[in-house]
Amino acid sequence: MRKLILCLIGLLAASAFGCVTHEGQLTILMTSGSASTLGAQQVNVEITSVDLWDAENNSWITVAGGSQIHELVGLAGRAGPIALVNSIERGNYTRVRITFSQGNSSVVTTAGRRDSLRIDPLAVTVQAIAAVVENQATNVVLELDLNASLSLRGNGNWVLRPVVRQVAASAR
The reported pTM is: 0.82
pLDDT for position 36: 61
Tell me the CATH number for domain 22-171.
Answer: 2.60.40
Q: Largest Cα–Cα distance in the chain?
A: 82
pLDDT for position 172: 62
Q: What are the mean pLDDT values of the chain's consecutive 10-residue runs (172 residues total)?
A: 41 42 84 74 94 90 93 87 89 93 94 94 93 89 92 92 88 63
- Print burial letters for 93-132: b (CB count within 10 Å at least 16), e (below 16): bebbbbbbbeeebbbbeeeeeeeebebeeeebebebebbb
Q: How far apart are CA 91 and CA 113, in angstroms?
A: 46
Nearest CA among 81, 80, 78, 88 for reference residue 136: 88
